[in-house]
A and B are shown apart, each in its own frame.
Chain A
Amino acid sequence: MTDIEPQETVDARGAACPGPLMDLIGAIRSAESGDVVRLLSDNDQSLTDVPEWAEEAGNELLAVEERDDHNAFYVEKA
């Protein structure tokens, strides 16, 4: 478990690809610089989509938490 405190959590569990990534992008769009958004996704594609996009956009993927039936991605807006 991470002790990162996100400013916002986006629960995209159950959403088909590319829903989780688009939900994350939407949350980052409206976030302030330095804010951390936590994305909850049970779609395996997120494991590649999210790191790729975070790098492309210059945002930092702080942590990926593996949970029982989904993953939690912590992304800090640059």
Chain B
Amino acid sequence: MTERVVIVGGGTGGTVLANDLADRLEPELDAGDVEVTLINDDPDHVYKPIWLYVPFGQREPADGRRALDELVDDAVDLRIDRVTEIDTDSRRLRFDGGGPSMAYDHLVLATGSTLEPDRVPGLAAGGHDYYSESGATALREELLSFTEGELVLSVVGTPHMCPAAPLEFVFMADDWFRERGLREDVDITYTYPIQRVHGNPHIAEWARPIMEERDINVETFFNAESVDPDAETVTSMEGTELDYGLLVTIPPHGGVDLIEAAGLGDDGWVDVDKHTLEAEAAENVYALGDTADTGVPNAGSVAHYQAGVVGRRLASEVRGRPATATYDGKTLCFVETGTDAASFVEFDYETPPSPAPPSEKLHWSKLAYNESYWLTARGLL
């Protein structure tokens, strides 16, 4: 009997996993003993890190899009559809618009993050973002006409995708305005929800002095409660009100609704064993990337490494062997510190990050990886 592996979500985690399985399970796929299906609600795969560069005119949103059917191995069944229900008792998925349900033997959820700006009154109308194609494009237009005043970057909720990106944005904005001779007319303020400038204390300790050197104002313990687009103010739960000329936010994030409806976890994040990535509330279900509530950053590198772990575990299970591969929390990030320098961090569950001194070489490494990412998506790098 054919065993069916179904992956929901064609972002970094889902796509890398599909290609990993196509390679790892090639004999079983050729023999018809295994089927691998990747389901995504968009025919394109989107590489979101490109969006950081769009507001500064350095990249176009199209640079981060490629057709999934060009990236995914032909041995994988690609289905463009939206899953609307997961039934872990009968091991079936149901789809938008009805039609027959799909049975699975092994399910992997890689549905990722969605933006939820409406959770903060006024945020959608008053704030800009670079966490979506449309947001990044609109912000580019705003930045081009913003020549003086208060630029406020506010991290509204965590967890959010790419925890380094808020720091990167203000560092890049600082350089960008300096290069254009406008920095003296533009104040930059960075707000963060807790008492330091980043969730990870080691990265916060590293970033804070750089912000001081670069004359970037900092407001900590700032949890935006409401935005008044007419008065151009943002007010925090802690009672601080900031004026802005241009408000850039990291909107609240959530997962997809069907995960909570399936009883797999709250807010769209699947409760998992943080080493095996197995769902705690159902058997034969894995989650990876943002979807897996492991406490590590929501980052592409995490999804990439977790996909390798899940691929090895699934191969063991399909072959009737005990699964031994585990995820150790490995995370890797390049962190732009301007328009021509970057740092680099690597850490895991046991080892804290120690950011590398910023250099032009690391900046070019980051840009080079952005190009070679497509090899990662194909499962080659």
Contacts and interface: CB of A to CB of B under 8 A. Distances in A.
B295 A29 contact: no
Contacts of B295: 14-16, 19
A49 B199 contact: no
17 contacts: A15-B295, A17-B199, A18-B158, A18-B194, A18-B199, A21-B194, A22-B158, A22-B159, A29-B237, A49-B194, A49-B195, A52-B195, A52-B221, A53-B221, A57-B221, A57-B238, A57-B239
Interface of A: 14-19, 21-22, 25-26, 28-29, 49, 52-53, 56-58
A22 B237 contact: no
A52 B199 CA distance: 15
Nearest to B224: A29
Nearest to A57: B238
A29 B226 CA distance: 11
Interface string B203-229: 000000000000000000101010000
Interface of B: 157-159, 193-195, 199, 201, 221, 223, 225, 237-239, 295-296
8 nearest A-B pairs in the assembled complex, by CB-CB distance: A16-B295, A56-B221, A57-B238, A18-B194, A18-B199, A56-B238, A22-B158, A25-B223
Q: Which of B158, B201, B237 has the most CB of A within 10 A?
A: B237
B194 A29 contact: no
Given A18-B158, A19-B295, A53-B221, A25 B193 contact: yes
B345 to A, nearest CB: 16
Nearest to B236: A57
A22 to B, nearest CB: 5
Contact of A29 (B201, B225, B239): B225
A17 B193 contact: no
Contacts of A57: 221, 223, 237-239
A29 B238 CA distance: 11
A36 to B, nearest CB: 16
